[in-house]
A and B are shown apart, each in its own frame.
Chain A
Amino acid sequence: MSKADTQLMIELENVDKFFGSFQALKGVSLTVGKGEKVVVCGPSGSGKSTLIRCINRLEEHNSGKIVINGHELTSQVKDIDAVRREVGMVFQSFNLFPHLTVIENLMLAPRLVRKTSKNENRENAMRLLERVKIPDQAEKWPSQLSGGQQQRVAIARALCMNPEVILFDEPTSALDPEMISEVLDVMTDLAQEGMTMIVVTHEMGFARSVADKVVFMDEGEIVETGPPETFFDNPKSDRTKQFLEQILTH
């Protein structure tokens, strides 16, 4: 487990988010240091997805402050763009572009957003495909790959933009069981290389072995935060205890 640096990567201060009259986030405050791995867990509807989607502005927070690597996230387009260049995202349903081959999927954003040259772009992309262990799939269409392979491509795609932090929104929830470990392995490698990661997941094994900090959310609030040993073996709140019982005994 890597030591969290004192440099703050992400800071949420008292963030509220409403969907109409429904409050999805209630005064959420959280800090994530550079190189820190944070796992967010909780029952469905607890706001964990909303939380990370606010970080890269896929959702707009209604009040409170969100600061990423020194940039405050406001409604200004250039602030949003600046944030999105630093923050990568991996989705539950992969969201690969079906009309582009695997390698084209990786090369699109660097070409358009960072204006990387074609050769450099392709080299980077191939290197990342090797890193996620599927370089031979470069010219295939996403629909030709298995779920596990597609998600690994999605991780590579996020990495292509050289982000400072990657958000994972339930990356393995849509996968068949036998493919979960190949994706978790890639994520573990990433963690060991020092990437800052926020992972929303139910995979408690992963949380135990990789996380620096586990956050439990329920009904829009952060109920408990702590390092994995304390969190899993000695949860402070009753709600946390209840949740862990449900998750760990099935």
Chain B
Amino acid sequence: MDAITGWWDDFFWGSLVVVELFFVALIMTVLFGLIGAGAKLSNSRIAQNIAAGYTIVFRGTPEILVLLLFYFGSAIALTSIAQIFDPEVKFVDFPPFWAGSFAIALIIGSYATETFRGAFLGVDPGQIEAARALGLSNLQTFIYVRIPAMWRLALPPFGNHMLSLIKDTALVAIIGLEETLFVAEQAIATTAKPFTMYILVGLIYLGFSTVITLTVMVLEKYANRHLEVAR
């Protein structure tokens, strides 16, 4: 256990990076999920097909592959663009934080697309009719009736997506992001205690997923509060 002393700081900062990555990716995930669901539910054949292609590709490809593809791919793209301006440029690095969060958001977003789509379809059409009969505009109906009804249905599966999200952040270490696994590797190099260090990383992630699970439980209770007291 003393092996860890001296490393607490680094693990703390590494965990912070994980938290940042999580929230950035989460926001993008919700965005991609809503856009994807919207495309799938729209009347445009093109939009539906693009969304279908999106979900197929990102649900069927290993996450590590997506990460590597994005990281190296964007580095190359950036390098090519940079070389247009300055032919001397050899290699432009793409920050792993953004490549990582973007890639993870694309992956989880493809699952969220299906979840949001199902949730939107599960909204009681009668409520939508009542809202329209009352004269609410499409936008107002969407915000005040559709979304509240839909997120109650989406919450349990979306909670799982958030768990997947936090666990996928570990993969970003592969493209060099200095988060917990990276710190662990440095610690192992000095202390030669791989088991201790990796268990610590495991515990950190276990802590994060516990927080997420508890948060989702609380949110679910809140979302369902009007149902629990049924006569």
Indicate yes or no for A touching B, C-beta below 8 A.
yes
Q: Given the complex, which residues of B lie within 8 Å of A161, measured CB to CB?
A: 134-135
Q: Given the complex, which residues of A lie within 8 Å of B129, measured CB to CB?
A: 58, 91, 95
- Write the nearest CB–CB distance from B229 to chain A, whole angstroms: 6
Would A95 and B130 be within 8 Å (CB), given that A84-B135, A109-B136, A112-B144 are in contact? yes
Is A99 interfacial (CB 8 A cutoff)?
yes
Q: Given the complex, which residues of B lie within 8 Å of A146, measured CB to CB?
A: 231
**Shortest 5 CB-CB contacts between residues of A and residues of B:** A95-B130, A109-B134, A84-B135, A89-B133, A95-B126
Choose, from A2-10, A137-145, A176-184, A198-206, the stretch at the interface: A137-145
Is B149 interfacial (CB 8 A cutoff)?
yes
Q: Given the complex, which residues of A lie within 8 Å of B225, measured CB to CB?
A: 141
Bound Cα distance from A58 to B132, whole angstroms: 8
Count B interface residues, CB 8 Å.
Answer: 24
The answer to whether B137 touches A88, judged by C-beta atoms less than 8 angstroms apart, is no
The answer to whether B126 touches A91, judged by C-beta atoms less than 8 angstroms apart, is yes
Chain B residues engaging chain A, CB cutoff 8 angstroms: 124, 126-127, 129-137, 140, 144-145, 148-149, 152, 225-227, 229-231
Is A186 interfacial (CB 8 A cutoff)?
no
Closest residue of chain A to B145, judged by CB? Answer: A97
The answer to whether A93 touches B126, judged by C-beta atoms less than 8 angstroms apart, is yes
On chain A, which size bracket covers the interface? Answer: 20 to 34
Would A88 and B227 be within 8 Å (CB), given that A93-B126, A99-B149, A112-B140 are in contact? no
Would A143 and B140 be within 8 Å (CB), given that A84-B135, A95-B127, A95-B129 are in contact? no
Closest residue of chain A to B230, judged by CB? Answer: A143
Q: Which of B137, B148, B226 has the most CB of A within 10 A?
A: B226
